[in-house]
């Protein structure tokens, strides 16, 4: 057996050589105490010892003893040591038994003692090495760093404690743990005691007075984090957290470098959402997937999550050059996905989109390209209709013409009972999906996914509040009663991709968004998390609702019914699609008004279309009511 002798292996080899020799000699000494008979001297000379060392060290190497750093030895390594020492002793026993090395055999008790002593020394040497290496240096005892109490005593907390003890440069000294399992109280994790449960947090903070409180529960809900933060803030203790589950899933995260202040997104988080990875992979793996609006908040996250499903390639369509460059480089440089195809194109350009579809032949299309800022769309209705409505029509028609298997539209809760130009434009997008989905002459499966606001998307309320707080205020809130649904971007996108696996023809899926959040409460939480007090350090000013904004958003219209799907967080609406012929005529009229630049007529026409749609089931009922008896008989036959 050959293995490279590197500098870090030499001390390990030397230590094991000494252990093998010492165990052999001690085994004889213990067996024949006080003196070893002279006729066993042959087994104690240099030649036999060299043979024994050669056999055992070779077996140790075969079992990977020297492929591990002793400072990182684990329980698993200890079992490996047990197997390696046992195998080495067995091989040595067989060699000594089958080859006549001396006139007398080695006593069986010596073999047993040798195995026990060697195993004990091997295990002890590795644990001692780790203990010495991880022992804090004298200088670090003087400058202990920040004293921290860790909430959680699970795997993440154990990992953090080990890293803090091993790396004094982190600047943290753990002084206690908090865990809601009462059975863990007073137990120790790597020498750090579990002080109590979160119900006792207030008393623990008063007694211990740590510099910081660290939440080390990646799966903790927003409610749990909020409760911990409230107690810590009341006692003036800074709170930090490890990344949440979706941050950990989204990439390789080094926990030790990811301790960060608690953000408002952490407090709004809900129970972790489980997705059916097998179902997602089954319709994306090995496929060409197109994402329009690939540089946006939703589009870029779609690219990240789709890349993990190992598609053949991702065709990333985006009209913003810098945003497209950023996501393309991220996939290549940070995620090792080289099959991303950046396409600089405008979804409104029918000829260009036809060329893209013709060249790449996408099998799955995620249409996320849209203008989304409500007040801006109120001021620019022509562009809202041109980009959102007509752009969706162009991409949907291209998907049909080139035989795409699936088309998935990213919709919004603002498409429901729409007041704004933006909401009305997204309503028409849903109608386009529904009308195409009802077609029997195309195999493409069209679906739309409707959800509310996503946290930290470009231009959304949280980044705006954050900038206002950094400037010292005031924080501007539209209305004290305004509420919104919120969801993290990775969470929303995971469910969007999951909805694509459910399929259906022309279906509208709605994501379960939890309880609506009052914007005023959101602003106050963000101010407190910045270390300041609302209305004292930073003022909150009410500016009134902006053009097109609702006070409360909805996910279902009055009278709308829905059905559960295979995923508990996704429901399917029972809604009749609009009549395709009627919709095509309305879209042609809107396109004419956009080309003519007739803003007033366009706004009025858009509102009229959305207010009085011609539903397919209404037409069928009308046809049935006016049918002659002969035609009814013909239809029934």
| Short-list 451, 435, 406, 444, CA closest to 506 | 435
The pTM of the full predicted model, rounded to 2 decimals, is: 0.67
Residue 566's Cβ-count burial label (10 Å; 0-12, 13-18, 19+) is exposed
Residue 157 lies in a domain: yes
Indicate the residue among 134, 152, 182 that finishes a domain: 134
For residues 367 and 251, membership in a common domain is answered with: no
Residues 538 and 442 in one domain: yes
Cβ-contact 296, 308 below 8 angstroms: no
Count of domains observed in the chain: 3
Q: Phi, psi at residue 563, to the nearest 5°?
A: -125, 145
In a domain, 475, yes or no: yes
For residues 464 and 607, membership in a common domain is answered with yes
Residues 6+ apart with CB under 8 A from 233: 239, 528
* Look-up of token digits 């007529």: 601
565 neighbors 502 (Cβ within 8 angstroms): yes
Say yes or no: 122 and 172 in one domain. no
- Look at residue 616 and tell me whether its pLDDT is greater than 80: no
Query: Lowest mean pLDDT: which of 220-224, 276-280, 284-288, 481-485?
Result: 276-280
Average pLDDT of the residues of the chain: 81
**Between the CA of residue 149 and those of 161, 205, 350, 459, 589, what are the distances in Å?**
10, 8, 59, 36, 65
Alpha carbon distances (Å) from 351 to 88, 139, 342, 394, 429: 73, 70, 18, 9, 20
For residues 441 and 371, state if they share a domain: yes
Tens of pLDDT along 401-411? 999 999 999 99
Weakest mean pLDDT among 135-144, 476-485, 592-601, 615-624: 135-144
Query: Is residue 257 located within the same domain as residue 282?
Result: no
Looking at the structure, do residues 443 and 317 belong to the same domain, yes or no? yes
Q: Are residues 376 and 296 in the same domain?
A: yes
Whether residue 170 sits in one domain with residue 72: no
d(CA 610, CA 49): 92
Most confident of 260-269, 413-422, 572-581, 586-595: 586-595
Asked, for residue 270, whether it belongs to a domain, the answer is: no
The answer to which of 159-163, 197-201, 254-258, 529-533 has the lowest mean pLDDT is 254-258
Among 134, 152, 174, identify where a domain stops.
134
Domain endpoint, select from 134, 165, 196 = 134
Question: Is 624 inside a domain boundary?
Answer: no
**How many whole angstroms separate alpha carbon 446 and alpha carbon 424?**
20
Give a yes or no: residue 626 inside a domain: no
* Buried/exposed code over 523-546 (b: 16+ C-beta within 10 A; e: otherwise): bbbbbbbbeeebeeebebeeeeee
State the Cα–Cα distance between residues 269 and 277, nearest whole angstrom. 21
Q: Identify the residue with better confidence: 197 or 531.
A: 197
* Rounded distance between C-alpha atoms, residue 62 and residue 54, angstroms: 12
Residues 300 and 250 reside in one and the same domain: no
**Contact present, 546 and 478 (Cβ < 8 Å):** yes
Numbers of helices and strands, H then E, in the chain: 25, 22
pLDDT for 140:
41
Taking only the tens place, the pLDDT of each residue in 285-331 is 999 999 999 999 899 999 999 998 889 999 999 999 999 999 999 99
Query: Is 474 inside any structural domain?
Result: yes
Inform me whether the pLDDT recorded for 361 exceeds 90. Answer: yes
pLDDT tens for each residue of 29-79:
888 877 888 878 888 888 888 888 888 888 888 887 776 655 555 666 777
Is there a single domain that holds both residue 379 and residue 475?
Answer: yes
Let me know if residue 1 belongs to a domain. Answer: no
Which letter does DSSP use for residue 389 in this model? I
Task: Note down the domain range covering 109.
Answer: 9-134
Distance of CA 385 to the CA centre of its chain: 34
- Higher-pLDDT residue of 6 and 455 is 455
184 and 45 share one domain: no
Q: Is 294 inside any structural domain?
A: yes
**Quick check: 124 pLDDT over 70?**
yes
The enclosing domain of 211 has a CATH number of 3.40.50.720
């Amino acid at each position: 057996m050959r293995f490279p002798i590197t500098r870090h292996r030499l001390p390990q080899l030397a230590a094991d050589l000494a252990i093998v020799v010492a165990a052999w000699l001690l085994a004889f000494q213990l067996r024949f105490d006080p003196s070893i008979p002279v006729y066993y001297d042959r087994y104690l000379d240099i030649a036999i010892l060299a043979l024994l060392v050669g056999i055992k060290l070779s077996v140790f190497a075969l079992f990977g003893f020297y492929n591990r750093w002793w400072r990182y030895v684990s329980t698993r390594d200890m079992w490996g040591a047990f197997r390696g020492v046992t195998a080495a002793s067995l091989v040595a026993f067989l060699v000594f038994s089958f080859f006549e090395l001396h006139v007398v055999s080695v006593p069986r008790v010596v073999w047993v003692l040798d195995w026990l002593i060697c195993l004990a020394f091997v295990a002890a040497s590795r644990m001692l090495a780790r203990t010495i290496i991880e022992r804090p240096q004298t200088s670090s005892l003087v400058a202990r760093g920040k004293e921290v109490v860790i909430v959680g005593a699970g795997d993440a907390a154990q990992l953090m404690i080990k890293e803090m003890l091993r790396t004094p440069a982190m600047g943290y000294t753990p002084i206690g743990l908090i865990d809601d399992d009462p059975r863990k109280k007073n137990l120790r994790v790597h020498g750090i005691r579990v002080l109590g449960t979160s119900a006792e947090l207030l008393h623990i903070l008063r007694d211990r007075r740590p510099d910081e409180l660290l939440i080390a529960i990646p799966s903790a809900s927003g409610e749990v984090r909020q409760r911990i933060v409230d107690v810590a803030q009341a006692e003036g203790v800074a709170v930090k957290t490890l990344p949440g589950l979706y941050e950990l899933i989204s990439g390789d995260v080094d926990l030790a470098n990811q301790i960060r202040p608690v953000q408002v997104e952490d407090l709004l988080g809900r129970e972790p959402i489980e997705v059916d990875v097998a179902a997602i992979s089954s319709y994306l793996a090995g496929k060409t997937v197109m994402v329009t609006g690939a540089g946006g908040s939703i589009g870029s996250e779609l690219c990240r999550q789709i890349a993990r499903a190992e598609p053949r390639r991702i065709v990333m369509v985006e009209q913003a050059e810098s945003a497209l460059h950023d996501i393309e480089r991220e996939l290549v440089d940070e995620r090792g996905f080289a099959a991303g195809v950046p396409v600089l194109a405008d979804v409104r350009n029918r000829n260009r989109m036809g060329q893209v579809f013709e060249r790449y032949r996408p099998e799955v299309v995620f249409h996320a390209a849209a203008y989304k800022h409500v007040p801006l769309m109120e001021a620019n209705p022509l562009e809202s209709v041109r980009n959102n409505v007509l752009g969706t029509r162009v991409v949907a028609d291209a998907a049909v013409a080139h035989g795409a298997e699936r088309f998935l539209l990213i919709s919004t809760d603002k498409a429901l009972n729409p007041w704004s130009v933006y909401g009305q434009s997204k309503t028409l997008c849903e109608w386009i999906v529904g009308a195409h989905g009802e077609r029997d002459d195309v195999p493409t499966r069209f679906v739309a996914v409707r959800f509310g606001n996503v946290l930290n998307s470009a231009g959304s309320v949280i980044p705006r509040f954050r900038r206002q707080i950094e400037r010292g205020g005031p924080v501007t809130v539209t209305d004290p009663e305004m509420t919104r649904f919120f969801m993290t971007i990775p969470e929303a996108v995971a469910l969007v991709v999951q909805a694509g696996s459910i399929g259906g023809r022309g279906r509208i899926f709605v994501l379960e968004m939890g309880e609506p959040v009052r914007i005023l409460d959101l602003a106050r939480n963000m101010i407190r998390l910045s270390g300041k007090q609302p209305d004292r350090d930073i003022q909150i000013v009410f500016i009134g609702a902006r053009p097109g904004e609702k006070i409360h958003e909805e996910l279902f219209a009055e009278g709308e019914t829905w059905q559960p799907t295979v995923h508990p967080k996704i429901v399917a609406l029972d809604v009749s699609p609009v009549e395709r012929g009627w919709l095509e005529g309305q879209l042609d009229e809107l396109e004419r008004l956009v080309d003519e630049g007739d803003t007033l007529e366009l706004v009025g026409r858009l509102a009229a279309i959305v207010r009085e749609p011609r539903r397919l089931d209404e037409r069928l009922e009308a046809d049935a009511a006016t049918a002659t008896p002969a035609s009814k008989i013909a239809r029934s036959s």
